[in-house]
């Protein structure tokens, strides 16, 4: 591959660990890669310390054995990737898994980081562990969460951006518009509110912003999407944010986009209380978008 081609290749970092969580991340990444031309960088992070724990699923028998085991796990991960998907593997040494994934994402110019959620528990679709929690507070690129055991979603069918009634969702709506236009799939801008639905002028304001986002070329595509009915602004009310989200209908292959908290700084993800409440009930893969993100799938 030429340097120019390498520079323009779109990439996703896929955090892998030799558990169901790692396999969920790979499954979702494959579904995304089959919908858009993108290279998967399957990444195993080797902690800097040689004192590995059972939670890392890495043996403690010595450096040589560790390296051999990591190589075997990376081979197993890459064996999960079908021939029609471009992928390569990376073993990266870092202080911990989350830092390592962010370092690889920066080095590769990746559009996002895909990780698996922990096993589901009663009434919780996504159970956020230490790695996901750190990424959701520090990543400068979108973090894509694969639901446990339900990550092979097939072709991406629709993008739904979930946002509140208050202003501040520009990055979220922009990323959703760009992704839906790039994938040529339907777009739903869905306001989750804890009272009545959106007023007509609020719907109009959101529609106009989405149509104008990203300059003339993207604006034209977004306007066409709205005029053809492939993009809509909707609202879903409930007694609280969880009830509103639980009443949303989802298509097979759908991705949910949610925004970073207003507390996020420097364009990083910051998953606040609202985002965490949504993660408890959303049954589909979730893309958490930094406040000033320019990334799209």
15 DSSP β-pair partners: 43
pLDDT tops 90 at residue 65: no
Torsion of CA 120, 124, 127, 128, to 10 degrees: 160
- pLDDT at residue 59, as a whole number: 47
231 DSSP β-pair partners: 187
pLDDT tops 90 at residue 15: yes
Is-contact 35 134, C-beta < 8 A?
no
Tokens of 137: 């507070």
Least confident of 155-159, 160-164, 288-292: 288-292
Asked if domains 3-146 and 158-289 share a fold, the reply is yes
Three-class SS of residue 117? coil
What's 3-146's CATH class?
alpha beta
Residue 195 to residue 82: CA distance in whole angstroms: 46
Mean pLDDT of the chain: 80
Tokens of 26: 């790979």
Alpha carbon 169 to its chain centroid, in Å, reads 16
- pLDDT at residue 53, as a whole number: 47
- Kindly report, residue by residue over 100-149, the tens digit of the pLDDT: 999 999 999 999 999 997 654 433 456 666 787 888 888 999 999 998 88
DSSP 143-167: EEEEPTT-----S--EEEEEE-SSS
Is-contact 290 269, C-beta < 8 A?
yes
Tokens of 89: 């593997």
Is-contact 52 58, C-beta < 8 A?
yes
- pLDDT at residue 34, as a whole number: 93
Domain ranges of the chain: 3-146, 158-289
Residue 68 to residue 74: CA distance in whole angstroms: 10
Residue reference for tokens 């969920």: 24
Residue 66 to residue 78: CA distance in whole angstroms: 18
100-106: which pairs have CB atoms within 8 A and are 24 or more residues apart?
A: 100/43, 100/45, 100/46, 101/13, 101/15, 101/43, 101/45, 101/131, 101/135, 102/135, 102/138, 102/139, 102/140, 104/13, 104/41, 104/43, 105/13, 105/139, 105/140, 105/141, 106/140
158-289 belongs to CATH 2.30.29.30: no
- Kindly report, residue by residue over 225-283, the tens digit of the pLDDT: 888 888 888 878 777 778 888 889 999 999 999 887 655 555 666 666 677 778 888 88
- pLDDT at residue 2, as a whole number: 43
In Å, what is the CA distance from 40 to each residue of 10, 80, 114, 172, 289?
A: 9, 12, 10, 23, 19
pTM for this entry: 0.83
CA-based angle 260:267:151, to the nearest 5? Answer: 50
């Amino acid at each position: 591959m030429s340097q120019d081609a390498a520079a323009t290749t779109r990439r996703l970092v896929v955090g892998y660990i030799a558990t169901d969580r790692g396999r969920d991340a790979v499954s979702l990444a494959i579904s995304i890669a089959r919908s858009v031309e993108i290279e998967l960088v399957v990444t195993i992070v080797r902690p800097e310390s040689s004192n590995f724990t059972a939670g890392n699923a890495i043996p403690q028998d010595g450096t040589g054995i560790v390296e051999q085991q990591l190589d075997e796990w990376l081979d197993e991960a890459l064996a999960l990737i079908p021939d029609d998907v471009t992928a390569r593997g990376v073993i990266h040494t870092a202080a911990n898994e989350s830092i390592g994934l962010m370092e690889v994402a920066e080095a590769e110019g990746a559009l996002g980081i895909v990780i698996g959620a922990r096993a589901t528990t009663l009434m919780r679709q996504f159970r956020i562990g230490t790695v996901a929690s750190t990424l959701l507070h520090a990543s400068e690129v979108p973090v894509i969460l694969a639901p446990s055991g339900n990550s092979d979603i097939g072709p991406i069918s629709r993008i739904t951006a979930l946002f509140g009634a208050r202003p501040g969702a520009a990055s979220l709506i922009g990323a959703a518009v760009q992704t839906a236009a790039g994938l040529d799939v339907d777009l739903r801008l869905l306001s989750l509110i804890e009272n009545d639905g959106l007023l007509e002028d609020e719907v109009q304001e959101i529609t106009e912003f989405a149509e104008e986002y990203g300059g003339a070329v993207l604006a034209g595509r977004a306007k066409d999407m709205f005029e053809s009915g492939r993009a809509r602004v909707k609202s879903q009310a409930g007694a609280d944010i969880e009830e509103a989200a639980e009443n949303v209908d989802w298509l097979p292959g759908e991705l949910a986009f949610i925004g970073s908290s207003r507390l996020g700084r420097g364009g990083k993800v910051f998953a606040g209380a609202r985002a965490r409440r949504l993660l408890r009930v959303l049954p589909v893969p979730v893309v958490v978008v930094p406040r000033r993100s320019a990334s799209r799938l």
